[in-house]
Chains A and B, each alone.
Chain A
């Protein structure tokens, strides 16, 4: 799986450089014991551009999105949103779309009418980036 660190920074909507490494997120996290990369390390790795290493991490799925870290971070870094951005990226890896544009004609009738619900086509594309 490939991941674009800049994409993650953008989609998280937060500025990880604001982090002052206080560790309050990890002091607040109820899932701490289930995490291989606790919130403060997670944020730190994204900050230094190493999000790829997090794609297969346990933390991605043990974060419960309780937002305790978001609520308490004194710097407004919102760690849970950073984790969510990596999670979204793991769920929609690049180039892993179920369908390619050239596959579409298979679902079209002779008159160009769609033979399957349009929603099927839309959902086959929309989750996967580029």
Chain B
């Protein structure tokens, strides 16, 4: 029989003003198993914890009930206090008489009666509690970062600098991500490549970092501290060890029809190619879909001209299996496709471009070598219309939901930047920015936007473009509203730049399934807590870095990448992880082998095995559920799904829950 001590907290006046704490501690003495009850001003204080210790010593308590705030607040505190006094920490129950009682009631008599009922429920459950021991598992001291953009690079560098090994998996042939495509960065207008490429070089040169480019994560198993991951290295058809990056192969390649992914399709590239000059690794890959050798069997020119014999057509995809203690998702974003936005003539006119395409047209390493011209005829634009919120902030309805319901966050700032760049390159040009709101929360952001309007003379117009007509003579007619002056404008433009909404990279969805990490309705990874745990996924050991969690600019991304790294370092610095003993367990004599629990388990913790079960003295071969206690998070989905009542959660068994209900309904 458990010897129970009950401690009722006043929480200053938070509880004591609404609940008669003396009455509670007096009434609970009559509950079965209770040998001691008292109340105290602040149970969480040192004095309160000392009261627990001395009561345990004096009355030989084997279980403790604290009637106080939510267990989310101080359960850990009181478990620790109990453990310090020699009581098993899982023999501690919290009766929440603050959030669920004093804070929501006014009548003292009723609140006191309810507090007593809640205390009785906790005592009833504690009588059925059994001491539990938290399991411990070792930690593999290596991290995996999935995605090699600025988020992944920064997380990898920070973790590696702390002395831990990091592998970066990037699906494209080079690291660098979207930031490598940008020309300048707001709000300082410094060159993106100038600040990114040194970090790319640092990552490649770091002794603790291994880069797997042109690679994808194929399989993930295991759990926090002990993940096993299969990485598929796609065949580059070029030996990374031998290639010197001289570029002769790309020059001589006769197949030059493929659209350059890096240049947003504004330039054609060869079948054997390096995405951009500062690519890391600076080793080409053969795009087998457009390579003549792979498509027709004839050619093989690159192999002949390569001075270092690096071209290898026989290379095959390779799967590497490695262990990791922590995994960071840094899969980034892409702009949404604008095919369905007919009103902006994006699909019809080459001079209607996305902001990312405009970025490449401004970039000195871009398809025009930084000479900003119209894609249709190569002429310098004189009048450019910028449209913000293209596909962002949409609601469902006729014509709507071609885009996304959220604000893409970065468009206001990069549009201001683009308008400035245009005015700087061509002082006689006109820049019109159509906006719904200009959102510039960020250090020096609003000042940047005001500079665009005040110093650069960019015309900011509160209103929206309703239609863009390609007149066919190289002119674009833009019809738009000007809400401040209540008029409709017709602008004769040379170019239209669309600030397309951002969306998570499509690879994120499959990755979330592999990681059993949850996503929101927009396919952004969900954080464990929107305010207090913003870089952790609810799945233990999985962390989030950059745009894959939500729209972010570069400063926010780098900050979050560092935060994710800090969480990874905190995890890897531990030699062993203490798990949660309150996990599911299967009563094999009751299990009917239906697999219902296996299907609902969000963590993949349940499997089925055939084993010998002794049931009432008779041995029997049965297919029964088996719980991997390291993977189980104790959510309880299996216990309510199980039709035969075989599944139970330790510390929260069906009997314990019913005892609580009975105590309250008595």
Check A75 for interface membership: any CB of B closer than 8 A: yes
- Interface with B: A1-9, A15-23, A105-113, A121-129, which one? A15-23
Q: Is residue B80 within 8 Å, beta carbon to beta carbon, of the partner chain? A: no
Cβ-defined contact, B436 with A21, below 8 A: yes
Identify which of A20, A23, A72, A77 contacts B343 (C-beta below 8 A): A72
Separation of A29 and B397 alpha carbons in the complex (Å): 19
Supposing A21-B483, A40-B481, A40-B483 touch, asked if A78 and B397 sit within 8 A by C-beta, the answer is yes
Q: Which of B393, B403, B463 contacts A23 (CB 8 A)?
A: B463
Q: Considering the complex of A and B, which 10 residue pairs feature the smallest CB-CB distances, nearest first? A: A76-B397, A28-B466, A27-B466, A24-B464, A27-B481, A26-B481, A23-B481, A32-B488, A76-B400, A22-B436
Q: A26-B481, A26-B483 are in contact. List 5 more A-B contacts (CB 8 A).
A: A24-B464, A26-B463, A40-B481, A74-B403, A76-B399
Given A75-B397, A78-B398, the answer on whether A28 and B463 have CB atoms closer than 8 Å is: no
Instruction: Please report the C-alpha to C-alpha distance between residue A27 and residue B478 in the assembled complex, in whole angstroms.
Output: 9
- Across the interface, A27 reaches (CB within 8 A) one of B397, B401, B479, B486, namely B479
Chain A residues, CB < 8 A from B397: 14, 18, 73, 75-78
Residue A68 interfacial (CB < 8 Å): yes
List of B residues within 8 angstroms of A32 by Cβ: 481, 488
B153 interfacial contact with A, CB 8 Å:
no
B483 neighbours in A (Cβ, 8 Å): 21, 23, 26, 40
Chain B residue with the shortest CB-CB distance to A78: B398
| A90 interface residue (CB < 8 Å to B) | no
In angstroms, Cα B399 to Cα A33, docked, is 24
Known: A28-B479, A32-B488, A38-B488. A23 touches B398 (CB 8 A): no
CB distance from A53 to the nearest CB of B (A): 16
- Return the CB mask of B381-408 against A: 1 if under 8 Å, else 0: 0000000010001111111110100000
Instruction: Judge whether A41 is part of the interface by a CB distance below 8 angstroms.
Output: yes
Q: Which of B389, B398, B403, B466 contacts A26 (CB 8 A)?
A: B466
A25 touches B (CB below 8 Å): yes
6 A-B pairs in the complex with CB atoms less than 8 angstroms apart: A21-B483, A29-B488, A73-B400, A74-B399, A75-B400, A76-B401
Q: Does B480 make an interface contact (CB < 8 A)?
A: yes
Complex-state Cα separation, A33 to B487, whole angstroms: 8
Name the A residues within 8 Å of B465 (CB-CB): 24, 27
Interface residue ranges of B225-271 to A (CB < 8 Å): none
**Distance between B99 CB and nearest chain A CB, rounded to angstroms:** 33
CB <8 Å contact, B464 and A22: yes
For residue A70, CB closer than 8 A to chain B, the reply is yes
Which residue from A70, A71, A74, A77 sits with its C-beta under 8 Å from B393?
A74
Per-residue CB contact flags for chain B residues 474-492 toward chain A (1 = under 8 Å, else 0) read 0000011101001010000
Q: Which of B397, B403, B434 has the most CB of A within 10 A?
A: B397
A38's nearest neighbour on chain B, judged by CB, is B486
Known: A20-B436, A38-B488. A27 touches B393 (CB 8 A): no
- B509 interface hit (Cβ, 8 Å): no
Q: Within the assembled complex, what's the spacing in Å between the Cα atoms of A74 and B407?
A: 13
Closest to B401 in A: A76
CA distance A33 to B294 in the complex (A): 60
Give CA–CA (A70, B486) in the complex, Å: 20
Chain B residue numbers with a CB within 8 Å of A18 are 395, 397
B403 / chain A contacts, CB cutoff of 8 Å: 74
What is the CA–CA distance of A68 and B468 in the complex, to the nearest angstrom?
13
Residues of A within 8 Å of B399, CB to CB, are: 70-74, 76, 78
**Which chain A residues in 70-89 approach chain B with CB under 8 Å?**
70-78
Closest residue to A69 on the B side, CB-wise?
B466
Q: Which residues does chain B contribute within 8 Å of A71, judged by CB atoms?
A: 343, 398-399
Residues of A contacting B393 in the complex (Cβ-Cβ under 8 angstroms): 20, 74-75
In the bound complex, residues from chain A placing their C-beta under 8 Å from that of B396 are 76
- Name the residue of chain A whose CB is nearest to the CB of B479: A27
Taking the nearest CB of chain A, how far is it from the CB of B468, in angstroms?
Answer: 10
Q: Which residues of A contact B488 (CB under 8 A)?
A: 26-27, 29, 32-33, 38
Q: Which residues of A contact B206 (CB under 8 A)?
A: none
A72→B398 CA distance, assembly (Å): 8
Interchain CA distance A23-B434 in the complex, whole Å: 10
Pick from A14, A33, A40 the residue with the most CB of B within 10 Å. Answer: A40
- Mask of B454-465 contacts with A, CB within 8 angstroms, 1/0: 000000001111
Chain B residue at smallest Cβ distance from A14? B397
What are the residues of chain A within 8 A of B463 when measuring CB–CB?
22-23, 26-27
Contact A29 B466 (CB under 8 A): yes
**Interface residue? B467 (CB, 8 A):** yes
Cβ of A74: which chain B residues have Cβ within 8 Å of it?
Answer: 389, 393-395, 399-400, 403
Asked if A23 and B462 sit within 8 Å, CB to CB, the answer is: yes
Bound CA span A27–B343, Å: 11
Nearest B-chain residue to A26, judged by Cβ: B481
Q: State the CA gap A25–B393 with chains docked (Å).
A: 15
Residues of B within 8 A of A25 (CB): 466, 481
Mark each residue of chain A from 54 to 69: 1 if its CB lies under 8 Å from any CB of chain B, else 0. Answer: 0000000000000011
Report Cα–Cα, A68/B480, bound state, in Å: 13
CB distance from A16 to the nearest CB of B (A): 12
Residues of B within 8 A of A24 (CB): 464-466, 481
Question: What's the Cα separation between A28 and B478 when bound, in Å?
Answer: 10
Instruction: Give Cα distance in the complex from A86 to B465, angstroms.
Output: 26
The interface residues of chain B lying within 8 Å CB-to-CB of A75 are 393-395, 397, 400
How far does the alpha carbon of A28 sit from the alpha carbon of B27 in the complex, in Å?
Answer: 72
Please state if A68 and B401 are interface contacts (CB–CB under 8 Å): no
Contact A28 B467 (CB under 8 A): yes
On chain A, the residues within 8 Å of B398 by CB distance are 70-71, 73, 76, 78
Q: Report the separation of the CA atoms of residues A18 and B459 in the bound assembly, to the nearest whole angstrom.
A: 28
Flag if A72 contacts B436 (CB, 8 Å).
no
* Cα distance, A71 to B341, chains bound together (Å): 10
How far in angstroms is the closest Cβ of chain A from B438? 13
Q: What CA separation (Å) do A20 and B435 show in the bound complex?
A: 12
Are the C-beta atoms of A28 and B436 separated by less than 8 Å?
no
The interface residues of chain B lying within 8 Å CB-to-CB of A29 are 466, 488
A68 near B466 with CB under 8 A, answer yes
A32, B265: Cα distance in complex, Å: 38
| Bound: A114/B486 CA distance, A | 55
Write out the residue numbers on chain B whose beta carbons fall within 8 Å of the beta carbon of A33.
488
Quick one: which of B180-230 are within 8 Å of A by CB? Answer: none
A29 CA to B467 CA, complexed, in Å: 9
Cβ of A29 to closest chain B Cβ, rounded Å: 7
